[in-house]
Structure 1
Amino acid sequence: MWEEPVTTLKDISNFVAAYPGRKIGIVLTTSKLTPGDLAKALSGSDYTVFFLASANSAKYLATLGPARTVDVSDNFRSEARNKDYSGEEWLGNNHTSWSAAGRRGFSDFTMLPGTYKDGGGPVGAVAVHLTYALGSDLWIQHFISTTDGQTDPQATKFEEVLRDIHRQRVVTPSRYELSPGLASYETQRVSGSYTNLSGNKRQQVSHHIFTVAKHLGL
């Protein structure tokens, strides 16, 4: 249930009453509702409150309790063009900090942009974003093809990217978890038979989820 400007405490109370015994999720986009009033409206229900970055979760923690709250933060810095990515960047530490803070869970956007964009067309540079753990933090390394013309062969772009990934793995063999996604990239590098753009994204997401799960002990 979304807390929009037109949503009132009465709306929330009615929603809770309409679904007795059900688990309820409330997503706050602002801090307009007072903590006490919100707690009262949710009283007696099994609820979780999700806070977007535009809401101040610290304002509510003492009243609602950390065990019923989750911060939603998209830490992946999205660029307009693949060619604009470079190097390595900090991705977050929610996967290690949420439990110690007594929170109900944590948010994870993988390496997908937080905002959906309609449309598309021929790709310029091909990008592979690989997640890895460094201590208690997650980092992401961007591998971008040198060839970036929209009419250039896509196979050439994948060849360049997968070659760079292989070189990095030779230098830092323990950096990346041996996920199915990473294994697929290596198979493609050796065979010269590459996936398509949607398959490329799926493999990156698969590698990210595998890496986070590994460090959660799953």
Structure 2
Amino acid sequence: MYHPYFRGKQFELITIREMAPLLAHAGFVPIIEPVRESLGGLERTLRAICEAGGRAIVIVNPHHGDHGDDGANISALLRDKLIGNNKISAGILLRGNTSFEDAKTCFIAHEDHNPTFVHSGFNEPKALAQYLGDNLATSTHVFVSNPADTLYRRHFNSSTRILVQDGFERRKNADYAKNSPEKFSELHVTYGDLGMAGFGDFLIVGDVYSEGGGPAYAVAIHLTYIDPDNDNVMFIYHFVSTTNDTPTDPAGKFKQALDKLVEKLDSGNSKLHETTAIREFRELHAKQHFPGLGYVKKLSMKHHIETLAAYLA
């Protein structure tokens, strides 16, 4: 079903932990690419998922972050702390610079960890499919790509296939005000038509990794909704602060963005699902409280997951 792709920063991991019961109940399987050297937060997150009866895929050879050169510590975490737990799958990331031999070596090292192949620019699909042979039918493949890569995916037709697309257009926050709302995705509606067993996205963060930016000239609240009057396509609102000429007063800018959100909610035509995250935004507005930008992003991610859970229920 739904496979949200997270980079393992603090608030991403907190989001997964807090949403673990809903993720499990809905059958959603988060993909986590660890990017921080310390794996304590990741371990707590995986235990929360298991305790809730859910599943997750953990990239053991990340491209981004502190483990980009060596994922040995991630593998050790799976081996020493989660051995025999088939709810946690070792994700093998296959990029353009990954050779078939690299893929094969990583697969052999993680055969006991219910491996999942995550394709992101890999150039040797035929060799991998032939190597898997009779095991291809029981393998799972996640494709971080566009729907046009049909020939590539044909090599894995007999497997369980998941398509992940990035629906979030990355811009400067101030520029979002000119494009709100805008189309986010229709993959939650069409993934079956594409021969996929499931779909995924990068939530409201996008597939652009950064270690963290400088001070925000503008504050934006990004919230998705599904439009029943438009073939259930998902759109995204960008509620952006009015003041955006200096990198000061993030709390005041958050209030400006939040005022716009609440005004839209109170209009009765926002089409935003009244999630627990939306209720918390309302509470923040009532209390005039700024919880920090990381917390705001967490609420937007929670809203996105809750929206899809309600649609797919």
Common topology (TM > 0.5)? yes
Per the alignment, residue 85 of structure 1 pairs with 176
d(CA) in 2 for partners of 1:151 and 1:62?
A: 49
Between Structure 1 and Structure 2, the one with more helix by share is 2
Q: In terms of mean alpha carbon deviation, does 59-68 or 202-211 score higher?
A: 59-68
Per the alignment, residue 217 of structure 2 pairs with 124
Q: TM-score, normalised by structure 2?
A: 0.61
Q: How does 1:37-76 map to 2 (within 5 A)?
A: 37-45=127-135, 46-53=138-145, 57-65=149-157, 68-76=160-168
Paired residues of 1:39 and 1:64 also in contact (CA < 8 A): yes
Per the alignment, residue 227 of structure 2 pairs with 134
Paired residues of 2:167 and 2:206 also in contact (CA < 8 A): no
Distance change >3 Å, CA 138–CA 194, structure 1 → 2: same
3-state SS of 1:193 partner: coil
Q: Give yes or no for the alignment of 1:199 onto 2:292.
A: no
TM-aligned CA deviation for residue 28 of structure 1: 2.8
Distance change >3 Å, CA 44–CA 175, structure 1 → 2: same
Residues 15-53 of structure 1 deviation map (CA, whole Å, 9 limit, x = unaligned): 555555753322333363253x33221123332222233
Paired residues of 2:224 and 2:304 also in contact (CA < 8 A): yes
Residues 154-200 of structure 1 deviation map (CA, whole Å, 9 limit, x = unaligned): 33212211211122122234611111111111111112122211111
Paired residues of 1:66 and 1:101 also in contact (CA < 8 A): no
d(CA) in 2 for partners of 1:34 and 1:120?
A: 36
Per the alignment, residue 113 of structure 1 pairs with 206
- Contiguous gaps of at least 5 residues in structure 1: none
Query: Rg: which structure is higher?
Result: 1
3-state SS of 1:138 partner: strand
Sequence identity of aligned pairs in percent? 25
Q: What CA RMSD, in Å, does the superposition of the two structures yield over aligned residues?
A: 2.6
Distance change >3 Å, CA 201–CA 11, structure 1 → 2: closer
Q: TM-score, normalised by structure 1?
A: 0.84
Tell me the matched-pair count: 214
Per the alignment, residue 146 of structure 1 pairs with 242
